[in-house]
Chains A and B, each alone.
Chain A
Amino acid sequence: MASTETRPAGAGGTAITPAPVRVVVAPAGWRADLRGVKVVWQREMIRFWRDKLRIVTSLLQPLIFLFVLGGGLAQIASGGTEGVDLRTFMFPGALAMAVLFTAMFSAASVVWDREYGFLREMLVAPVRRGSIVLGKCIGGATVASFQGVLVMALAPLVHVPYSLAMVAEVLALQLLLAFMITAFGVMAAVQITQMQAFMALMQMVVMPLLFLSGALFPLSGLPRWLEVLNRLDPLTYAVNPIREAVFRQIDLTPAAHAALLPGITWFGWQVPIAVQVLVVAAFAGVMLSVAIWQFRRA
């Protein structure tokens, strides 16, 4: 692959001139694209690890919702939770939230990268642009799931015992959710060049989606309009399976189960968990495709 050639030192040549190392750069193809995915992912990991403050601040928001809001409302809500602690009920919501905000920040790095020029270094590289987008999304999903695991560690504080099955199931769902949000964020970041505008948009989109998803309230007995919006919200189909996985750990009375975990129905049809997960995966796939398509044209 490589040969070393020596070259006579030219007249007035400087002392630093060693024999050049000939490099034959690898050809294009799926290997090159895979390398692109890997190296973009690695960079996300390095940068996340450097930014300890971000790890802490992204954790703060779900914890505030869980313990401050959940703790404060527990008294007045106790009539409707059939004996289940409100914090226990909100725990799956907090698991989704932890992932949501971190994934959003990961996508925001595209805006930074453009601002500081690094995006161009990636765009001129001899790899497909799709592999850069994919690396970003996988990176965002990894980082966000790490945050999700930190929140998951708090389970005993809200009366949820650990089990391997729950951890594995929730982690997989968090990965998928984070991937979808990062892809959505990257898609938006291609259009928006200003950080403030990007963050404002994400807040404007993500907060309502979070509230509508049922992360903080049960899906039973909702007003009609709220029920319709809830069913249209892609987050619903990630939050509900996470809640099912967590509540499998707890002995619920049939009444509590009916009140807190009614499941999702489409026109009266009980949507199986597998279909719900498929909905999230489909959304993630569409967002990723749009993001890649936009990156190609950028």
Chain B
Amino acid sequence: MTDIEQPDTEAETLEEFKNSFYYGARSDLNFKFLKSLSPDDAGEFFRQLLGEIGRSLDHGGVESIHQLIFDWQVRGYEGSGRSHEYDTAPFVAPAKPVSESKVGVLTSSGHFAAWDDPNPFGVENMTQAEAEARIGDFMRDTPALSVIPIDIDPGDLRVRHAGYDVRSVSRDPEVAFPLQTLIALEAEGVIGELSSPMYSFTGATSQGRLRRQALPGWIDRLKVDGIDVLLLVPV
């Protein structure tokens, strides 16, 4: 007589599996959007992903896999941020063409100078993994503004961020921190001047503390820099 296999009551559910990519046992910030999908949609994502991977075995291309991930990221995030809705859009016209303007830069990519580590929560030399593990603390904290001179040695530029996969910007800061791009555009006269320093902060932060405690001082600081316009790069 053959024993009948009993259901494993400890088996992981699809809900638990998909959520584990969001700061869980399988944390992968490229795929944290899975938590926002229903179990059925997450299952459909994996079905399509495996299908594309299978087809790529023969044709060798990866573009369709990348497009699939992109499409499902869009779908996964479509419900995010909708609580911060406004009725009107502020607008001031620049006083002069951008080719004559002093351009300031502020990113939420989490870059900082090696000699000016913000040491979140008093932790020195916090690693990326440690930052991701403390995402909840970051989301309750006031963001710190990092000051980065434009003549910084590229080897002194650091990045750490609890909210996104920094491997891409670690390979090339220009992915989210366009220092060399803007230096070239200044040299060609596309912009009048690149303002120094540039600025960055960790965008995974308390929105209330950002607006009420940090932002007023940031505005005052960049006004002192004398910028005409401001380029913002979120991640």
- Chain A bound to chain B: no
